[in-house]
Structure 1
Amino acid sequence: MNTETVISWHYQICLFIVIFGLTSISCRQKEKEIFPEKRDIIESVYSSVIVEPDSLYQAYSSVAGICEKFFVEEGSLVKISDPIAQIRNNTPKLNEENAKLVLEMARENYKGSSAILSDLLKEIDAARLQLNNDSINFFRQQKLWSQQVGSKIELDSRKLKYELSRNNLNLLEQRYQRTKFELETSYKQAQNNLESAVYNSKDFTVTSEIQGKVYAIHKKEGEIVNSMEPLASIGKDSSFVLKLQIDEVDIVKMSKNQEVLITLDAYDGELYKGKIKKIYPQKELKSNAFIVDAIFDNPPKVLYPGLSGEANVIIRKKENALTIPRDFLLENNQVLTRNGLVDVQTGLRNIDFVEILSGLNDETAIIKSE
C-alpha cells in the first residue's frame, strides 16, 4: 500500500466519523425538541392523608381513683350517656359528708336559734332602752337649763351619756347587719359546696358524649386514673374525616368546599373525590404544618382509623391550555428555542406541566437544555 492510498484511507475514516458524529448530534437534538401542546391542566396542592373517625375525642375521668370496671370494649357501639367506665374513689363521699355538716352549722347560725344574732338583738334592745332613758334625761335637763335651773356640768354629763347611747346603738345595728350578711354568705357558700360535693360524688361513671364507637381503651381495670390521662377514644362509627397536613406556603390557597382527589394505600389504584370541610387556623408545632379536614363524596365501603394515603387539593383548573413540560422551563421564566432563549409568561403549574400564557405558540420548537 503506497502513501497516497494510506492518506486516502485515513481521510475516508475521518470523514465517516465526522458525518456520523454530526448525524448523532442532529438526532439527539431532534429527540430533545418538542412543541408546546394544548391540554387540560390542573393546579393542586399535595398532602399526605390520615383517616380518622368523625368527632373523635378522648374520654376523661373528672375524679382521680381506681378504674374499677369497664362497661365497653374496643369496637363497642355506644349511645349518648352510655357508661364507659366506673371509677372508685372514697374522697368525694367524705367531702360530701363534711359539706353537709358545714351546711347544717351555717343554717343554724343564720336561720336557727343561734346565740350569735339573738344576742346581738338583745344588746340592740337594751341599747334602745338606754338611749331612750338618756334622751329623756338630757332633754329634761336641757329644758331646766333653759329655765336657769340646774348646773352646766349636769347638763353636759347627760348630753354626753345621750350621745354615747346613740352611738352605741348605731354601732350595734351596723354590727348586726354585718354579722347577718356574713352568716347569710356562709350559708350560701355551704349550699354551693354541698352541691359541688354531691356532683363529684356521683360523677364516678364516665359516659359517652356522642353516639358512635369505642376505638381505643387506654387503661385497664384496676389501674389508677386521674383527670389528666384519657380512658378511651370515641368517635362516629360510620363517618370519617381525612386529616391533611398543609405547608404554610400553601395554606393561604385553601378554602372550604375545595375539591380534593384522594388515594389510599389500602385501595391501590382507586381514586376518590372529596371536599374540604374545615381549616384549623393554628399551626401544629409538632408537624410544623396546618391541619385541614376533608370528607369523602363517596367513601370506600370499609374504612379504619389510621389508614394513610395521599391527596391533591384542586386550586385551579383550565381547559385547552398551551403547556410545556416543567423541565423545559429555565430560570427567570425562559425557554430555549432554535432561535435562542425566549422569555415566556407562565400560568398554572402542576408536577409535570406549566401553562404558557405568552412568548410561545404550538408551532414553536423548544429544546431541553443540558
Structure 2
Amino acid sequence: MKRNLVLLLLCSLTAMPVQAETSEPSQPAGLPAEVITVTSASLTEQLNAVGVLQANEAVMVSPEQNGRVSDILFSEGQKIEAGTPLFQLDSALYDAALAQARARARLSELEYQRASSLLEKRVGSRTEHDTRLAQLRVDQAEVALAQTQLDKMTVRAPFSGTLGLRQVSPGDFVTSGQPLVELTDLSTLKVEFSIPERHLQQLQTGQPLSLIIDALGADAFAGEIYAIAPSANPTSHNIRVRARVPNPDGVLRPGLFARIQVETARHEQALVVPEQALILQGNQTLVMQLNADNQAELTPVTTGLRRFGEVQILSGLAPGAVVVTAGHLKLRPGMPVTPVFADAPDEDADA
C-alpha cells in the first residue's frame, strides 16, 4: 500500500513541470531579414563630363624678319618671363640703317633750327620754315622705323612660360614666321568639355568643379568655369564649356585626360536608402518597412537622385524608419520579421 502511494506521488511531481510548459501559448517566430535604419545625409547633384587638359597659352615663337641666328639666349626647358630675349639675329645691316637715319634726322633738325632763327629775324620765309619742319618729322619717323626693325632682330618671349625644344641652331638662316621654339604657359591650365543642352541652366561662369586625372592617381584638382559657348552644336545639341585649373606645382600637363565633376546642387537633409531596398510594381515604387511590432508593411515612396548605389527618398518615409534591404521575396505584408540590422556596429570589433 505504501509503495503504491510513493509511486503515485512521484508521477504527480514529474507531470507538474510538463503541464506548466504546455499551458503557455506558442508565439510564431519571425523570419530573419536584413534591414537598415533610414537616416538623413548630405547629397549633391552633379554633372559628369570628360575633357583634355590644354595649356593656358601656347605659341610657336617665330621671327618677324629674315636673318641669320647669331646667338641663342636660353636653355631648353627653361622657365622665362615675358620679354626675355630668346634669339639674337645678325643685325649689322639694321645697325647701319639706324645710324644713317639718325644722321639724316640730325641734319634736318639743324636745318629746321636755322630756318626758325631766320624766320624770327624776319629774313626767312614761312614756307622754308614749314618745309624744314616737315622734313625733320619724316627723318624722325625713319629713325623710329630703323629702330623698330633693329629691335625685331632680337626675338623675345611674348609671355611668361616654359620653353620647349628649339628647332634651329646658331648660324641657321631663318625666315619670317619660321618656327623656332615652343613656349607654353603651364601656371594655369584649361580644360574644355561638353554638356547636353538640357543642363545649360545649371551652369554659370565662376562655378567650381573638380577634376580627376587618371594618370596622376585618385587625387582631385580644383578648377573654375570661366566661359560657356553662346550657342549649342546643332548636330549633337551639346554646349562647350571651358574652365581654368591652377597648376602652381607644375604637376598637370597639357594633353592629359580628365574626368570632370560639376556640383549643381546640395541637399543637406536628404533621406537615402540602398537601391536594393526598392520594390518595383508596375509604375509604383515601394519599400518594405517594419512597424512597431516588427511586422512587414509595403510603403509607396517617391524617389529622387541616384548615386553610388543609393537612392534619395522624396516622400513616403521618415527618419528612423526601419526598411528591409534583403529578403523581400520570402516576406509578405503583415508577416512578423526578425530584423538583422546591416548598419549595426560589430560587437566583436568593439571588444
Q: 1:345 to 1:85 in 2, by over 3 A?
A: farther
List per-residue Cα deviations over 1:302-357 (Å, max 9, x = no partner).
443432221112222223435697xx9xxxxxx81179xxxx99876779877564
**1:255 matched to 2:257:** no
Partner SS for 1:226: coil
Aligned counterpart in structure 2 of residue 87 of structure 1, from 86, 89, 94 = 89
Alpha-carbon shift at residue 196 of structure 1 (Å): 3.3
* Gap runs ≥5 in structure 2: 1-37, 287-300, 325-351
* Aligned counterpart, 1:110: 112
Q: For 1:185-200, what aligned pairs fall within 5 Å after superposition?
A: 185-200=134-149
**1:243 matched to 2:191:** yes
Check whether the contact 2:195–2:241 (CA below 8 A) recurs between aligned residues: yes
**1:274 matched to 2:222:** yes
Check whether the contact 1:44–1:350 (CA below 8 A) recurs between aligned residues: no
Check whether the contact 1:51–1:240 (CA below 8 A) recurs between aligned residues: no
Partner SS for 1:279: strand
* Aligned counterpart, 1:75: 77
Aligned counterpart in structure 2 of residue 289 of structure 1, from 231, 235, 240 = 240
List per-residue Cα deviations over 1:204-230 (Å, max 9, x = no partner).
222346665313435555252425856
* Aligned counterpart, 2:295: none
Check whether the contact 2:76–2:166 (CA below 8 A) recurs between aligned residues: yes
* Aligned counterpart, 1:217: 166
- Counterpart CA distance in 1 for 2:164 and 2:105 is 44
**1:207 matched to 2:156:** yes
Percent identical across equivalent pairs? 14
Larger-gyration structure (1/2) = 1
> How high is the TM-score relative to the length of structure 1?
0.52
**1:315 matched to 2:264:** yes
Alpha-carbon shift at residue 54 of structure 1 (Å): 5.8
Alpha-carbon shift at residue 78 of structure 1 (Å): 3.3
Q: 1:337 to 1:209 in 2, by over 3 A?
A: same
Q: 1:110 to 1:211 in 2, by over 3 A?
A: same
> How high is the TM-score relative to the length of structure 2?
0.54
Q: Which amino acid letter does the alignment assign opposite residue 215 of structure 1? A: G
Check whether the contact 1:52–1:240 (CA below 8 A) recurs between aligned residues: no
Q: Which has the higher helix share?
A: 1
Partner SS for 1:217: coil
Alpha-carbon shift at residue 64 of structure 1 (Å): 3.5
List per-residue Cα deviations over 1:262-292 (Å, max 9, x = no partner).
2113124x1314131x613667999972322
Q: Which amino acid letter does the alignment assign opposite residue 245 of structure 2? A: A
Paired residues in the alignment total 263
Partner SS for 2:206: coil
- Counterpart CA distance in 1 for 2:306 and 2:69 is 56
Check whether the contact 1:283–1:290 (CA below 8 A) recurs between aligned residues: no
Check whether the contact 1:57–1:235 (CA below 8 A) recurs between aligned residues: no
- Counterpart CA distance in 2 for 1:179 and 1:352 is 93
Partner SS for 1:103: helix
Q: Which has the higher strand share?
A: 2
Q: 1:110 to 1:316 in 2, by over 3 A?
A: same
Q: 1:312 to 1:61 in 2, by over 3 A?
A: same
* Aligned counterpart, 1:42: 44
- Counterpart CA distance in 1 for 2:41 and 2:158 is 51
Q: 1:314 to 1:54 in 2, by over 3 A?
A: same
* Aligned counterpart, 1:233: 183
- Counterpart CA distance in 2 for 1:350 and 1:185 is 78
- Counterpart CA distance in 2 for 1:225 and 1:354 is 65
Q: Which amino acid letter does the alignment assign opposite residue 174 of structure 2? A: I
Q: 1:288 to 1:225 in 2, by over 3 A?
A: farther
Partner SS for 1:309: strand
- Counterpart CA distance in 2 for 1:103 and 1:181 is 16
Check whether the contact 2:80–2:163 (CA below 8 A) recurs between aligned residues: yes
Check whether the contact 1:85–1:205 (CA below 8 A) recurs between aligned residues: yes
- Counterpart CA distance in 2 for 1:225 and 1:248 is 46
List per-residue Cα deviations over 1:236-276 (Å, max 9, x = no partner).
5xx44342334483566133262x222113124x1314131
Q: Which amino acid letter does the alignment assign opposite residue 45 of structure 2? A: E
Q: 1:44 to 1:217 in 2, by over 3 A?
A: farther
- Counterpart CA distance in 1 for 2:65 and 2:44 is 54
Q: Which amino acid letter does the alignment assign opposite residue 75 of structure 1? A: G
Q: Which amino acid letter does the alignment assign opposite residue 101 of structure 2? A: A
